[in-house]
A and B are shown apart, each in its own frame.
Chain A
Amino acid sequence: MATQNKSKIFSNAREALSDFKSGMSLMSGGFGLCGIPENCIDALTEMDVKDLTVISNNIGNSGRGLVKILVQHKIKKAFCSYVGGNPDLEKQMFAKEIDVELVPQGTFSERIRASGMGIRGFFTPTGAGTLVAEGKEERMFDRPCILEMPLHADFAIIKAQKADPYGNVWFKETARNFSPLMAMAAKVTVVEVEEFVELGDIPPEDVHLAGIFVQRIFKGKNYKNDIEFLKVKED
C-alpha cells in the first residue's frame, strides 16, 4: 500500500487537479501555444475555481490556451511578459477586470528559477530606469540594477513529450521553454505527457527535468498542438 500511495501516476487531469482550489496560484508552461498543458487547461474550464493567480508567459493566445479560463473570469491576477496577440486579456486589462503584472521575460524566467533553486532575490540590469523599476530597490554595479524577487506557486501544470513513472521528463524541441523552471517552483507539479514510458527508457543523460521536481503525471489525450503562425519555405 505504501508504494501505491507514493505513486505519481494519475489517470487524467481532473484527478491530478482534484485538490486545486479557488484562490490558489498556478504556473502554466508554454510559449504562446507551444508546449501548453492542454488537458489541464480543459479540466480547469470545467472546475469550479475562481480568484486564481496565474503565472504564464502569455496567458494564452488568439482565444486558445489559458484564454479559455480567462474568459470565464477565473483569473484575478496574472503575471506574464507578453500580451500581444491576446485581445481577450488586453480587454480585461483595460476594463480593470484583471490585475496584470507585466514582467520582462528573462526576469520572469529567473524569478521562477530562483524560487525553485532557493535564491531569495537577485539584482538584474533588466528594466532599470523603466516602469518595471518602480518601487524596487536599485543598486549600482557596472550599470544600474534592480532587485527582483522569486515567484512561487501552489501548482504548476506542464506538458511534455515523455515522462517515466518517477517523473523524469523529456521535452520536444522548443516546447521546453518555462516548463522545467515552473516544475521546480511549485509545491505540486502536474505533468501531462504524450508518451508515458518505462523507467530507464529516457537515458539519464537525456533527462531534461529530473523526477524529483514532479509530483503527478498522467498521459494526456486529444492533443491539438496548434500552430499559431504557420510559415513555410516557398519553392
Chain B
Amino acid sequence: MRALDRLLALLGGLALAGLGALVAIEAGLRAADRDALVIPRRRWDRSLSDLEWTSSTLELVAIITIAAGAILLLLQVAPRRPRRLALESIDGRAAWITPAGVRRVVERAVLDAHDDVADARAQVQRRRVRVKATVVASADDGAPSRIGPTVAAALDALEVERNLRVRVRIDRNQDRVR
C-alpha cells in the first residue's frame, strides 16, 4: 500500500509540476500579449463574465465541491487501523509491535487453549481486539466467557502498553473441525 502511495504521490507531483509550468508559460504569453498555448482564456473569460450566481451549473459545481470536501474530511477524521502498538516501556524507551504480530499471538492462544474452537480470527484495532471464534457443534454456551480471558491473558503476556478491550464473537459451524 505504501508503494502505491508513493507512486500516486510521484504522479500527483509530476502532474502539479506540469500544470505549474503550463500556467507560468500561459502567464508569460498573456504578459507578452500573445495567443494562449493551451488554455482558452478568452472563452473562459467570456463565459465567466456571463455567469450569474443563480446559474444551475454554478450550483451543481458548488454542491459537488462541498460534497467532495466533506467526504475527504470524513476520510481524514475516521479512525484508522493502527500501524503499530506500543509495548510497555523500559527505562522510558518504548518499543512497538505490529497489529499482525498481536493478531498471530491471539489467534494461536485461543486455538491452543480451547479444544472446542476450530478456527479463530482476530482483528486488532486501536483500542480493542475483536476475536471471531468458530466452535464445534458440540461446544457449550460458555465459550465466549472462556475465550475472553484467554485473549486478555495473551495480550497481558505481550505487554502491550494500552489496555485493549476484548470482544469475542462465536460462530458455530459443524463442518469446520480441527
Same complex for A and B? Answer: no
